[in-house]
Structure 1
Amino acid sequence: MRPSKRDELVQKALTIFYREGFHAAGMDLLSAETGISKTTMFKHFRTKEELILAVLRLRDEQFRNWLFRRMEQLGPTPRDRMLAMFDALREWFQTPEYRSCMFIKASGEYPQRDHPIHALSAEHKRLLHRQITELAREAGAVEPEVLARALLLLKEGAIVTAHIGHEVDPAGDARAMAEVLIDKALEKH
């Protein structure tokens, strides 16, 4: 089934916003690069911010589906899947289109916590925390929420470090630290 004009716009806008940033990518650029007129864009989205929210929802779905699918493919046990998060990140960092985390960027460009774009970015991080907490629980961590927070801090640090580019293997470095944290959290049994 062919995607609707709206879906096509959201997918193309995701690529452009990820590459250019949200404020830098104006409606003229979006129209020129998507081949969709501004009039048509405004039929689907009343404002640029509505389009950004749709883009972030799509990115959230795509990223979490990809990440957890890769973690399952790379790790046979819950412990292994938690470590595989960093292997999946390494794969992502090595792609030519890697430009850091879209949600970190969005919350940086819309820093007011009550702004819908900032709030949606924070929700993405909460959903990741919930899923990693469940995985930590399955692995047998005594304090799964604490372990999940620590692993996600390592994940976010690896993402930013990879973006800045001053380390050779930030995902590998984060994975080594994660292994220590996971093993310590699981040995309390």
Structure 2
Amino acid sequence: MTIFHAPSDTPSATGARERLLDAAEALIYAGGIHATGVDAIVRQSGTARKSFYTHFGSKDALVAAALERRDARWMNWFADGTLARGATPRERLLGMFDVLREWFSSDDFHGCAFLNAAGEIEAADDPIRVVARDHKVRLLHFVREVCDDYVESPGPDVTANSQIKHKDQRAARAAQLSRQWLILIDGAIGVALVSGDADAALDARAAGEQLLEADIAVSRPSVRRVSTRRQEKS
């Protein structure tokens, strides 16, 4: 399992560069890139304008660096929260939405900083857009690791004959499931932002449960039959 290391959420008390990054991240996340000027960032950071040009040279370079730092910290938080939600891959996949709900309920939730940034930057090769894209690649990679564990680990009612036998077929299923899971994650973030309802995470979790049930029906039919018989008896 990949471990992501990142700086603390606490704003840095020392260092002009770190204070500029703290200010840029806070202001841009709350108000957007285009609506946030360099003067506002410098003022909130408590640094001299000369420090801004010394460390970054341009607003775009500062924004990209702030997003890179946020990416590391966010991934660290999300991975740790996911791993703490359960011992099995299924519990961890569904637990991702419990982690998201905590975030949605916080006072400073303003959606996904990387989707927000990508929405403001048109050019695909812009450094800010590249950081946003790389964040989603990293998130998908982490989700894929959990999905790989999921398709490789039999449940209590699964026999060797009921699992997908070929490794390449299992890998293809894990890849597809991870892409679908990322859509559920980003969809929940978007709905929570627009609606202001943290329970969007619970709706995404319920959709995820149905997605896993569909996976069992397709790739582990004997488990589906056992589950159906149990429901009929109850």
Where 1:22 maps in the other structure, the secondary structure is coil
Q: 2:200 aligns with which of 170, 177, 181?
A: 170
Distance in 2, matches of 1:135 and 1:186, equals: 16
The residue aligned with 1:122 is 133
Match of 2:143 among 113, 132, 135: 132
Given candidates 67, 70, 85, the residue that maps to 2:81 is 70
2:187 paired residue among 145, 149, 157: 157
Deviation at 1:75, TM superposition (A): 1.7
Distance in 2 (CA, whole Å) between partners of 1:162 and 1:91 is 11
Report the 3-state secondary structure (helix = DSSP H, G, I; strand = E; otherwise coil) of the residue aligned with 2:36. Answer: coil
Aligned letter for 1:65? N
Give 1:12's match in structure 2, choosing from 23, 46, 70.
Answer: 23
Structure with greater Cα Rg: 2
Amino acid at match of 1:149: R
2:167 maps to none
Q: CA deviation at 1:158?
A: 0.7
How far did 1:5 drift?
2.2
How big is the alpha-carbon RMSD for the aligned residues of Structure 1 and Structure 2? 1.7
Q: Percent identity?
A: 33
Post-superposition Cα deviations, 1:156-175, rounded to whole Å, max 9, x if no partner, equal 11111101016561100000
Pairwise mapping of residues 15-164 of structure 1 onto structure 2 (< 5 A)?
A: 15-140=26-151, 142=170, 143-164=173-194
Please list the CA deviations of residues 98-143 of structure 1 after superposition, one character each: whole Å capped at 9, or x if unmatched: 0001001110110221212112101110111111111101111631
TM-score normalised per structure 1: 0.94
Large movers: runs of 4+ above 6 Å: none
1:2 Cα deviation (Å)? 6.1
Number of residue pairs matched? 189
| Runs of 5+ unmatched residues, structure 2 | 1-11, 153-169, 221-234
1:183 Cα deviation from its structure 2 partner:
3.1
